[in-house]
């Protein structure tokens, strides 16, 4: 069974005001960092992006949102991936989690039970993190059926199927940065941390 990684970079980044996949916390873009985190765990890794971003990621394996799924949010990444590679499971990670670690992803993968359709990181607000998740190929027809009914929320999908919940050792790995203020705060925190 192939496991493909998807570095999800296709958001509009409206609150941030700049493409989140190109932000840097560790001297490389977040897109490259997520590829580095996924690569040891997956057979292949792709950058999921919208069509206007494709030029940013020259020389990288990209999976642009297919036209029929454009502008529906993160579900577009997953539906496009399954349509392009129907025989693979997908481990996906968004580009806006600066504290995500290889250990957290590895622990998550090893915790997934056999026969599961989907599993995702789960936070203290009792919400799934749909972009820190694993989706089996068996999820593809279920997602497509919801898409055809106009239901585009991955959060609702994960709830409806009672997806497996993964609670990481540190909730910090699920911190999503999507505003300039949050970016500045995380950068400052990381710099302090590196100097110690």
Nearest 10 degrees: Cα torsion 180, 183, 184, 188: 180
> Residue 195: which residues within 8 A CB-CB, separation 6 or more?
none
Using alpha carbons, select from 3, 5, 64, 57 the residue that is nearest to residue 31.
57
Cα distances (Å, whole numbers) of residue 142 to 5, 30, 78, 85, 114: 20, 30, 12, 16, 18
Residues forming the annotated binding site?
Answer: 8-10, 20, 65, 96
Terminal Cα distance for the chain, rounded? 43
Please answer whether residues 91 and 109 qualify as being in contact, where contact means their C-beta atoms are separated by less than 8 angstroms.
yes
Residues forming the annotated binding site for Mg(2+)?
Answer: 96
Residues forming the annotated binding site for GTP?
Answer: 8-10, 20, 65, 96
The gap from C-alpha 176 to its chain's centroid, in whole angstroms, comes to: 11
């Amino acid at each position: 069974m192939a496991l493909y990684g998807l570095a999800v970079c296709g958001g509009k980044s409206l609150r941030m005001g700049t493409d989140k996949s190109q932000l840097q916390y560790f001297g490389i873009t977040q897109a490259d960092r997520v590829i580095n985190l996924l690569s040891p765990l997956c057979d292949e890794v792709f950058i999921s992006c919208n069509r206007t971003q494709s030029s940013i990621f020259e020389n990288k394996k990209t999976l642009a949102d297919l036209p029929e799924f454009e502008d529906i949010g993160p579900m577009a990444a997953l539906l496009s991936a399954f349509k392009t590679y129907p025989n693979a499971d997908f481990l996906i990670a968004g580009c806006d989690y600066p504290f995500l670690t290889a250990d957290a992803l590895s622990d998550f993968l090893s915790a997934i039970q056999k026969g599961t359709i989907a599993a995702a990181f789960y936070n203290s607000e009792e919400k799934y993190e749909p972009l820190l998740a694993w989706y089996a190929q068996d999820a593809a027809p279920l997602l497509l059926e919801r898409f055809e009914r106009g239901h585009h929320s991955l959060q609702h999908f994960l709830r409806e199927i009672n997806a497996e919940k993964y609670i990481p050792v540190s909730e910090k790995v699920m911190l999503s940065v999507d505003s300039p203020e949050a970016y500045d705060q995380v950068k400052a925190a990381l710099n302090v941390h590196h100097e110690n």
